[in-house]
Amino acid sequence: MAVSQTQATQIWHGQAHALLNIGRYRSAIERYEQVLAANPTDAKAWMEKGYALCALGQYVIALQSFQQAIKLAPKQARAWHGQGIAHARTNDFEAALRSFDRTIALNQHDGKAWRNRGNALLRLNRYPEAADCFNELIQQEPDNYYAWYDRAIALAAMRRFHDALSCLDTTVAIKPNCYYAWTYRGVMLNKLHRFRDALDSFDRSLRCRVPNPNAWYGKASTFALQGKAADAARWLRNAIAVNPSLYRIMVRTDPNFSIIIKSPEIQAVISAKHHSAELTAKSSIEWRQYSSLADGPNSPFNL
């Protein structure tokens, strides 16, 4: 029996969805293009193709796909959400914020949209609004450790270090092996000059993950703040071995190292030659003005 065009389209949709779920994004895009060749007004195909393109880092093309989906189905929250991600990944945070606002207007309980909206506000330095956004997500999902962690970043940016520490305590209570929360907790403890507790927090991070250059750098910072150049150099060397260009830039501009930056021990580490190739200073770590060492396995603006 011959397969009708409608049946073929349903089959292609099913195949594309399955391929998308297992990370075969290029093959998924090919199936969605088959759907769209048969029916250019299939809003779902445009939207899902956009998500597949985002997963491949093709954000400009993805944006066009989401825009087409929105034209066809303007009340589809996921299409607006995808458009927001594409804008955010191309650093247009104002446009991303507008898209996330529209997403939430259509679906108040979209946790990913609330988180992504908060991260857009962080990038725009609108920290109180970002904190409010994460508060809303926490009200909806009290056990969402990402929300507690992100809220800590917003509070730290406002120099509310005690409150940020409290959020991080909640984060690691929910997810005890959250290495980046343990690291950031150590950063907050350094802000409060609780150096012994900071070292313990960095050590907890290292129990969860090795190599862990942020935790090593954090330990170096703790010793630097106490004027202990030799100890700081030992841990800084570990971090620089993983990403030489990034951590060399950081240590030169980090006020935590101001006391010992000219010491022979630190200068030797900074100037040492490494056999590993120099890496670009671009990283998942964003060196914000409050020296956050904010990190995580999922970059902001997750799908």
The last residue of a domain, from among 107, 138, 170: 107
Q: Which of 86, 107, 128 is the endpoint of a domain? A: 107
In a domain, 280, yes or no: yes
Each residue's pLDDT tens digit, 245-284: 899 999 999 999 999 999 999 999 998 765 444 444 443 3
**Domain containing residue 23:** 8-107
CA distances from 257 to 91, 199, 223, 260, 272 (A): 31, 16, 9, 6, 18
Domain assignment of residue 225, yes or no: yes
Q: Report which DSSP code applies to 21.
A: H
Most confident of 34-43, 114-123, 280-289: 114-123
Average pLDDT, the chain: 90
60 within a domain of the structure (yes/no): yes
Q: Residue 265 domain-assigned? A: yes
Token readout for 185 is: 């907790």
Please report whether residue 130 resides in a domain.
no
Q: Which of 78, 107, 136 is where one domain is finished?
A: 107
- CATH code for position 76: 1.25.40.10
Q: What pLDDT, on the 0 to 100 scale, is given for residue 8? A: 74
Q: Domain for residue 97, yes or no?
A: yes
**Which tens digits make up the pLDDT trace of 209-242?**
999 999 999 999 999 999 999 999 999 999 999 9
Q: What is the pLDDT of residue 278?
A: 42
Domain count across the chain: 2
Burial 14-45 (b: 16+ CB within 10 A, else e): ebbeebbeeeebebbbbbbebbbeeeeebbbb
Q: Indicate whether 200 belongs to any domain.
A: no
- 78 is a domain residue: yes
